[in-house]
Structure formats: structure tokens, C-alpha cells
């Protein structure tokens, strides 16, 4: 208590990534704490001197490229002190924290998808109402669009027992975007021109998520929200990369690039970078969004 010196067993030193020593100062341990957690842990350490009863605090430590989660537990206000020495434990809770983060991410993604589906259903209803001559025609056409949307979402689900390629690159775009096309005088406003290329099951689901996100945003704010809006999708090979250009025109005027910090934007960037080894570039032109998707060809085959 008087020197802030920690004595730990060998497992404790391994946990902190430190060589064995008879004792180690609190400030030496603090140097390994993640910068975002360091002040919080220092404040908690001081609080253990004044607040009675058990304490528990979780924080991250940085060991080179590795980040570990540690849970520190003990008794505050010198409870149980013997010969000016108090006792506590450090637990490695990295696995639990990663599982919690995975659950939070999944919950956020599911919530985002539900909200998007409601927005898509509203947008498809508006599109259908523009060309329907009667409520019966509108009901028939809207049911067809929603059915097509359901078939498109099959690309996002695992395919039990599936082997080989899951779909062709062009089919992924055509099937997913079919519900958004017009069926009256302005039919064919969505045009897809990509080379014949097989896409593996896992990559097909990832790409389907990206396409669905772009289509939903376009239906809310872009070319697909306007009666005269158009969408052109073209693709080319650039060495080992597949480059897909998503070009919108005829939608609402773009006065300034929108903020791209929402969950959907993060989902698109994370899916392309982590699973397809690529990236996405947004070019907000006055005529509409031009998004360029870069993907590794070998990743698309997985």
C-alpha cells in the first residue's frame, strides 16, 4: 500500500507481457494500458484507497499488435489488509469481450437491416404508385416487387450444402436491383453491364449486403427516389482487382457531400475491406453519386 508496488506470479507477468521481476510499479503497468483506458484505470486505482468493498474494472492493454482485455478485481479501502499488503487478481477476459463485441455488432446490423427493409418497402410502394392504373394493378405490382425483394435476400443467407460458385457477378446486381426498376414507360432505368464472372458463396453474401445498402440509400436520397433517376453499373478488371462503378443520375440535386459516418456506411467499408480485400470511393457529383468499388478477384471466388 505504501509503495504502489505489485508482486505477481509468473502468469501475471506473462499476461502483461513483462519479464519476471520481484516487483513492478503501478506506473510501469500503466504504460501498457490502452491510451483510451489509462486515465480511467488510474482514477479507479486511486478510488480503491477510499471506497470500501469489492471493486471490478475492465480495461485493455496493448502488447505490440495485440490488444488484451483484463479484469482487475479486489477489495477497496484496504479491506482485508495484512502487513500493509492487499490482494487482488488480474483475469484475461479477452475472449468474453470479443464475444460481447460480436453480439453488439450483430444486434446493430440486424436493427439496421430491419429499418432499411421498412424504408425499402415504403420506397417500393411509392415507385409502384407512379405507374399503377388502379388499386388492383398497384397491389399486384407491389406484391411482385416485394416477392422479388425476398428472392434477392436469399443471396444474403447461407446456402446449405452449396458447392462451387454461388452466383454470377451480373446476376447479383440484376437480382438485387430488379425490385427497384420501373415497369411502365420508364422501364430499364437500371442498367447492368459487367463481365461474366463467378462469385463464391461467402463473397456473394458480402457483395449482396453492399449492393443492398447502396440501393437503400439511393431509394431514400438518390436516383432511385426520383421518377426520372437512372442507375448504371459497369465493371472492369484491373490486374488482380475487380472494379465496379455505380453511377447515379437524375436524382435530387446534391448540394454538399453527406456525412458517411452511419452504421450502413461503416458496414459497407468493413465488408469490402475485411472480406473482399478492397475499398469504396464516393464521388458526389452534381448529377448524382458515383461510387467505385475495388475488390480482389481472388477474394470474390471464395
pLDDT tens digits, 34-87: 999 999 988 888 887 777 778 888 999 998 888 999 999 888 766 667 777 778
* Domain identity same for 21 and 69: yes
Measured between alpha carbons, how far is 147 from 214 in angstroms, rounded to an integer? Answer: 20
| Cell reading at 125 | 410502394
Instruction: Report residue 226's pLDDT band, with 50, 70 and 90 as the boundaries.
Output: confident
- Examine the fold and report which residue of 92, 109, 135 is the final residue of a domain before the chain moves on: 92
pLDDT tens digits, 235-285: 988 778 899 999 999 988 887 777 776 766 777 888 888 888 999 999 998
* Domain identity same for 25 and 112: no
* Domain identity same for 27 and 112: no
Burial class (CB in 10 A: 0-12, 13-18, 19+), 83: exposed
pLDDT tens digits, 176-199: 888 777 655 456 789 999 888 888
- Count of structural domains within the chain: 2
pLDDT tens digits, 143-158: 766 675 666 556 644 4
* Domain identity same for 25 and 150: no
Give the HSE-up count for residue 52: Cα atoms under 13 Å, Cβ half-sphere. Answer: 2
Prediction pTM value: 0.53
pLDDT score of 219: 83
Instruction: Report residue 292's pLDDT band, with 50, 70 and 90 as the boundaries.
Output: very high
Which residues constitute the domain of residue 29? 5-92
Q: Could you tell me what percent of the chain has a pLDDT over 70?
A: 84
- Examine the fold and report which residue of 92, 123, 143 is the final residue of a domain before the chain moves on: 92
* Domain identity same for 104 and 88: no
Amino acid at each position: 500500500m505504501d509503495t504502489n508496488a505489485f508482486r505477481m506470479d509468473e502468469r501475471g507477468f506473462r499476461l502483461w507481457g513483462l519479464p519476471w521481476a520481484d516487483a513492478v510499479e503501478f506506473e510501469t503497468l500503466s504504460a501498457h494500458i490502452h491510451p483510451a483506458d489509462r486515465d480511467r484505470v488510474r482514477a479507479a486505482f486511486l478510488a480503491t484507497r477510499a471506497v470500501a468493498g469489492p471493486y471490478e474494472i475492465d480495461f485493455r492493454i496493448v502488447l505490440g499488435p495485440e490488444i488484451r482485455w483484463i479484469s482487475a478485481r479486489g477489495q477497496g479501502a484496504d479491506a482485508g489488509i495484512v502487513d500493509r499488503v492487499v490482494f487482488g487478481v488480474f483475469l484475461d477476459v479477452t475472449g468474453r469481450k470479443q464475444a460481447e463485441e460480436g453480439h453488439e455488432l450483430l444486434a446493430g446490423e440486424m436493427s439496421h437491416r430491419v429499418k432499411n427493409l421498412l424504408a425499402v418497402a415504403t420506397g417500393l410502394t411509392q415507385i409502384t404508385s407512379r405507374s399503377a392504373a388502379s388499386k388492383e394493378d398497384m397491389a399486384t405490382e407491389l406484391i411482385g416487387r416485394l416477392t422479388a425483394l425476398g428472392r434477392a435476400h436469399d443471396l444474403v443467407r447461407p446456402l446449405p450444402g452449396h458447392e462451387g460458385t454461388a452466383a454470377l457477378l451480373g446476376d447479383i446486381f440484376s437480382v438485387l436491383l430488379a425490385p427497384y426498376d420501373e415497369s411502365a414507360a420508364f422501364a430499364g432505368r437500371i442498367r447492368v453491364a459487367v463481365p461474366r464472372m463467378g462469385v463464391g458463396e461467402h463473397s456473394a453474401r458480402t457483395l449482396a449486403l453492399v449492393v443492398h445498402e447502396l440501393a437503400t440509400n439511393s431509394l431514400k436520397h438518390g436516383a432511385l427516389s426520383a421518377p426520372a433517376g437512372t442507375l448504371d453499373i459497369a465493371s472492369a478488371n484491373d490486374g488482380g482487382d475487380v472494379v465496379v462503378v455505380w453511377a447515379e443520375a437524375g436524382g435530387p440535386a446534391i448540394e454538399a457531400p453527406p456525412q458517411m459516418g452511419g452504421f450502413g456506411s461503416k458496414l459497407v467499408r468493413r465488408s469490402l475491406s475485411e472480406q473482399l480485400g478492397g475499398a469504396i470511393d464516393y464521388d458526389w457529383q452534381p448529377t448524382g453519386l458515383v461510387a467505385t468499388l475495388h475488390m480482389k478477384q481472388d477474394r470474390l471466388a471464395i
